[in-house]
Amino acid sequence: MIFSLFRRKPQRDTISALYGMIVAQARLPVFYRDYAVADTVNGRFDLIVLHLALVLERLTVNGQLEAAGQAVFDHFCRDMDDNLREMGISDLKVPKEMKRMGEAFYGRSRSYLDALDDRRALVTALTRNIYGGAPSAYDAAPRLADYVTAAAAALKTQDVTAIAAGAVQFPDPARVPAPAA
């Protein structure tokens, strides 16, 4: 009977698995190699935010974030907090950095989601947020926009219950063709 107190809750495992899938997709080498995303802390953060925003949008029903979506977002916040501490950010600075990361998440995710139906706006948002306006963005951002559009469309076809249960599938970014020059 006392051992039940030490068992992990199934939902926690499911949420951890779902968040792990989001991070795994964001960490695919193809993004850093073929899409010219900077393989830095900021570049990795930006791709996690991008994928997390797409999944959270899918887990939003009738304008309300489902419980699984909130749990995934909470897991993201804990992960960012842990990463800041692991990088050596002092306990006094972590809350300030978390606030900055939260603002970045909300600003970026809103700009991506608002631009999903307007390719030019999506390219602009990606150029600004993922690439920081770097010259490499002008070639890479249109392809990333095509991937984001494909990912959003793929998520729309997936059952929300299945996603909330930890089964999310993203398109293969290596199969998204580069835009014609």
Name the residue ranges covered by the structural domains of the chain.
10-169
**Confidence at 6, pLDDT banded by 50, 70, 90:** very low
Distances (CA, A) of 156 to 58, 159, 160, 170: 7, 8, 9, 11
Mean of all residue pLDDT scores within the chain: 87
**Confidence at 45, pLDDT banded by 50, 70, 90:** very high
Read off the pTM. 0.87
**Confidence at 62, pLDDT banded by 50, 70, 90:** low
- Is the pLDDT at 125 greater than 90? The verdict is yes
Span 50-65, mean pLDDT?
A: 84
**Confidence at 27, pLDDT banded by 50, 70, 90:** very high
Predicted local distance difference test score (pLDDT) of residue 88: 82
Span 92-107, mean pLDDT?
A: 85
Percent of the chain with pLDDT over 70: 91
Span 81-89, mean pLDDT?
A: 80
**Confidence at 12, pLDDT banded by 50, 70, 90:** confident
> Please, are residues 79 and 85 in contact by the beta-carbon 8 Å criterion?
no
